[in-house]
Structure 1
Amino acid sequence: MPVFSGFIAGLLFGVGLLLAGMADPAKVLGFLDIAGQWDPSLALVMIGAIAAAWIPMRWASGHPTALLGGAMQLPGRRDVDRRLIGGSLVFGIGWGL
């Protein structure tokens, strides 16, 4: 079940990127071109995604059990380590390609 849940979460994330235009190379280049014709629309998409994730995270932090009755498992670490930086780099490079 965890593999299936991860697959569904990744699929929803990918569909969200496509619908928001974050997979369109021209849109991404417009966002990254700060000195030229900067397109801030992707920044608004990111802010909206953070806001949409904040609500369920706040709910989850106050409940000991998940919606389906299992134990709530939230990330406990708040430090930035090499694995986090490496994963961020891989994601950013892949998105940029």
Structure 2
Amino acid sequence: MTAPRLLAALASGLLFGLGLALSGMMDPHRVLGFLDVAGAWDPSLAFVLAGAVGVSALGTLAMARMARPILTPTFAVPTKRRVDARLIAGAALFGTGWGLAGFCPGPALAGLALGLPEAGVFVAAMLAGMALYRLVAEPTPGEARRETPAPDTVAPRR
């Protein structure tokens, strides 16, 4: 990775972490409060999500007007549109973990950097799940993939 790309990645990560910290999304109690619609509901996460969708929409509009990205030769745009069992199972697993722990990967990693003990437990469980996936679901070297390879998922846009 070139120095400009590395600096851009570092700046993006720091900005993302700052946004998570300022919005309170590293506090699992705030996230769980948003998910508790029958109890003491905390709507603050809805505003954070709306802001994230807005920023993403602006980025998508900017990308559509650009001939090419600034730091890489082509855009990587998802092309897979099919909703399948793996997508549904992954979304359900993500939502269940988020609802039980109050963390998703981004805030958990930012919380881990701040030394939050709950984040450490979540990240350890997340890494164990990733290792389990590699053992169970990913093909071994030389084994054929069970599903369509990555080019079906992301296509370069020039």
Alignment TM-score, normalising by the size of structure 1: 0.70
% same residue: 40
1:52-89 deviation digits (Å, cap 9, x = unpaired) = 11101112123331123622222222233415752673
Q: Which stretch has the larger CA shift, 33-42 or 23-32?
A: 23-32
1:32-62 deviation digits (Å, cap 9, x = unpaired) = 1101121100011001111011101112123
Q: In the aligned structure 2, how far is the partner of 1:89 from the partner of 1:15?
A: 27
Q: In the aligned structure 1, how far is the partner of 2:73 from the partner of 2:27?
A: 39
Q: What stretches of structure 2 of length at least 5 have no aligned partner?
A: 105-121, 123-158
> Is the CA contact 1:63–1:72 (under 8 Å) kept in the aligned structure 2?
no
Q: What stretches of structure 1 of length at least 5 have no aligned partner?
A: none
Name the residue aligned to 2:54: 51
**What secondary structure is seen at the aligned counterpart in 1 of 2:76?**
coil
Instruction: Please give the residue correspondences for 1:13-28 in structure 2 after superposition, counting only pairs within 5 Å.
Output: 13-28=16-31
Q: In the aligned structure 1, how far is the partner of 2:6 from the partner of 2:96?
A: 25
Moved over 6 A (4+): none
Q: In the aligned structure 2, how far is the partner of 1:14 from the partner of 1:89?
A: 24
* Root-mean-square deviation over aligned CA pairs: 3.4
Q: Identify, as 1 or 2, the structure richer in strand.
A: 2
For CA contacts below 8 A with separation 6 or more, give which structure has more relative contact order. 2
Q: Which stretch has the larger CA shift, 78-87 or 39-48?
A: 78-87
Q: Over alpha carbons, which structure has the higher Rg? A: 2
Residues matched between the structures, number: 97
